[in-house]
Amino acid sequence: MKRIGFFSIENKILIPFVCISLITVFFFCFILYRTEYHIKIESESDYAIALAGYINSDINAGDNWQNSNALLEKYEANYTGQNLFIYDSGGHLLLGQRTLSDDELFIWESQDNILGWRILYSIDRNELSNTFLEEQKYMILAAVAMLLIIVEASVLISHNISAPIRQLSEACNTLSQDYTLSGDAMSDYLKRRDELGYLATAFQTMIKSIQENTAQLVQVKTLNESIVSNLPLGIIVYDQEGSIALKNSHAESMFSRQNERDGLGRNVEQLLSDIIQRESILPPPARLTDTDGTVRDYEFGIWRLHTPAGISYGTLCTADDVTYKKHMEEKMSQDVKLAYAGKLAADVAHEIRNPLAGIRAGLQVIRKKLTEERDTLLCQGMVHEVDRVNLLIGNLLNLSRQRQSEKTTVNLNALCEELLMLYSKIAENKGIDLQMKLEGTLWLYTDEGELRQILINLINNSFHAIPNGGSVTILGRVGEDGIVIEVTDTGTGMDDLTLKQVRSGEKGGLGLAIVQQLLEQNAGGLAISSSAGLGTIVTLTFLGREETL
């Protein structure tokens, strides 16, 4: 087995153990040294204070101070240490057996005597350290002996701990070369009754499990390859560089149709390559036509492949031929729409057209007798609405053939004023606060009649959703994509299921379904935000412009 040198298991156990032990010993010695050192300094300080006090008292006692030379001879004879210094009042050295060094520790000084002498007690730091080390030599020898014992104990402990681990690593290395030799490689360790024996048994069980799982994985791999190959859609896997790594038989068949091209002259393979390069998440469907005029519809799916660590290593693509599905959906949708529209149109035409004709004639007679301009305009607007309803009935009767919108430049401000005048009385009777809020003068390029129908349908829907009073607000403003109209009410609102049913016409009539159709004819966008009990916000988006008043 190849050794790892400095980073062997022995060193990984030994080094931390020794380091911790050394730090502990050094820390203990340091504390002991600092404690003894401070005790030594305190002892010297006490001695210096006592000595200075004695000398000051001796000088001041009786007439001794008159014979300064006798005093100096006395002190020089009695205090022969090198740490006492006496200076006269002029700063001249009178007594001192050595020269003060640059590394002095001044313990105490006093000048409290009648002669004005300065008494100084100072210690040379180097001399103090040497003296202290001499006194502590046995402690140092004990610390060194302790360190040697710790190192030897650490070596012994690390060796005993690492020996079975080393043997186990050698067995693992043998198994990594060829796991089929597990019986021979582990035979010596299976007889042991210690932890290594238990590990050897566990490894042998693991190897047997790996062999069994490998056989199962091969079987599953074969099954998956068979499934992918026989799926009824094309499966293509691209690597990180965009090259094809895998494709099944259906993908091969699609790629072989080189004559099928889309509007940009691309075949299926080129389409997928462009999708991969653009990193599209939701690629749009494609319609391809061959030289014989045969049309095929395709839908694509894209899934990014990632490792468990989140690193991308390729892309999975699906290509599905949905030509027959598209044909049946279009045919079914057209048939259902025509059948439903025919029935609805017949019912509406029969029930509404005759009463509307009478209402229109009555309004025309009444308008001739009105004198107020406001009443005349209101009556004229009502006649216009009757005509619009008649036009709606005609549209329902001809729903199978699309009516061409007549788009013009429409002033949204004028249209909203007209609607406010028509619906203000109805809103007042229902206890509803109807407001129109437009930011500036807004113009839209759309079919005026269809825009009016859209807003009326939304206002009616809001009125129906407010049973006991509330508010309906129409807000117009300039947005990022054009003119934005928001119809907000404080009604009952809708949950997600109800909203889906209303949009599809399954619930609540055709009001919202007709709004969606009219918006598609006028290149408008629709967004609905609603929650049960919290009201509804319908947002319309049109191309348009704003003029500053």
- Which DSSP string do the residues of 293-360 spell out, in sequence order? --EEEEEEEEEEEE-TTS-EEEEEEEEEE-HHHHHHHHHHHHHHHHHHHHHHHHHHHHHHHHHHHHHH
pLDDT number for residue 494: 87
User: If 0-12 CB within 10 Å is exposed, 13-18 middle and 19+ buried, where does residue 171 land?
Assistant: buried
Lowest mean pLDDT among 120-124, 174-178, 397-401, 521-525: 397-401
Q: Which segment, 233-247, 309-323, 435-449, is predicted with the most confidence on average?
A: 435-449
pLDDT number for residue 438: 92
How much is the CA Rg of the chain, to the nearest whole Å?
52
pLDDT number for residue 3: 47
**Domain residue ranges of the chain, discontinuous segments joined by +:** 5-141, 231-321, 323-403, 406-549
Average pLDDT over residues 40-51: 84
Lowest mean pLDDT among 10-19, 271-280, 312-321, 442-451: 10-19
Say how far apart CA 150 and CA 144 lie, in whole Å. Answer: 10
pLDDT number for residue 433: 92
Say how far apart CA 337 and CA 201 lie, in whole Å. Answer: 73
Residue 282 DSSP class: S
Lowest mean pLDDT among 181-190, 231-240, 340-349, 537-546: 181-190
pLDDT number for residue 259: 86
Assigned architecture for domain 231-321? 2-Layer Sandwich (3.30)
- 77 or 470: whose pLDDT is higher? 470
Confidence band (pLDDT; 50, 70, 90) for 164?
low
Q: What are the structure tokens assigned to 88, written together?
A: 């006269």
Mean pLDDT for the chain?
78
Confidence band (pLDDT; 50, 70, 90) for 9?
low
Confidence band (pLDDT; 50, 70, 90) for 116?
confident
Indicate if 406-549 has the same CATH topology as 231-321.
Answer: no
Q: What share of the chain in percent tops pLDDT 70?
A: 78
pLDDT number for residue 2: 45
Q: What are the tens digits of pLDDT across the range 301-336?
A: 888 888 888 888 888 888 888 887 777 776 666 556
Backbone torsions φ then ψ of 486, nearest 5 degrees? -115, 125
Average pLDDT over residues 151-173: 69
Average pLDDT over residues 357-366: 74
pLDDT number for residue 424: 86
Q: What are the structure tokens assigned to 215, written together?
A: 């056989």
Q: What are the structure tokens assigned to 83, written together?
A: 């740490």
Give the Cα-Cα-Cα angle 445, 447, 452 (nearest 5 degrees): 110
Among residues 435, 529, 423, 441, the alpha carbon closest in space to that of 474 is found at: 435
Confidence band (pLDDT; 50, 70, 90) for 485?
very high
Backbone torsions φ then ψ of 190, nearest 5 degrees? -65, -20
The yes-or-no verdict on residue 10 having pLDDT over 90 is no
The yes-or-no verdict on residue 299 having pLDDT over 90 is no
pLDDT number for residue 400: 44
pLDDT number for residue 435: 92
Confidence band (pLDDT; 50, 70, 90) for 1?
very low
Among residues 364, 401, 386, the alpha carbon closest in space to that of 456 is found at: 386
C-beta of residue 409 within 8 angstroms of C-beta of residue 380? no
Average pLDDT over residues 255-283: 83
pTM score: 0.35
- Side by side, the strands of the sheet bearing 295-306 are 244-247, 234-239, 312-321, 295-306, 286-289
pLDDT number for residue 217: 86
Q: What are the tens digits of pLDDT across the range 386-401?
A: 777 776 666 555 544 4
Q: What are the tens digits of pLDDT across the range 407-441?
A: 889 999 999 998 888 888 888 888 899 999 999 89
pLDDT number for residue 450: 86
Amino acid making up residue 62: G
Say how far apart CA 135 and CA 130 lie, in whole Å. Answer: 9
Q: Which CATH superfamily is domain 406-549 in?
A: Histidine kinase-like ATPase, C-terminal domain (3.30.565.10)
Say how far apart CA 503 and CA 507 lie, in whole Å. Answer: 8
- 485 or 170: whose pLDDT is higher? 485
- 474 or 206: whose pLDDT is higher? 474
Average pLDDT over residues 265-294: 82
Q: What share of the chain in percent tops pLDDT 90?
A: 6
Confidence band (pLDDT; 50, 70, 90) for 549?
very low
C-beta of residue 543 within 8 angstroms of C-beta of residue 490? no
Confidence band (pLDDT; 50, 70, 90) for 536?
very high
pLDDT number for residue 473: 94
Average pLDDT over residues 487-513: 76
Average pLDDT over residues 230-254: 83
Q: For 323-403, give the CATH class.
A: mainly alpha
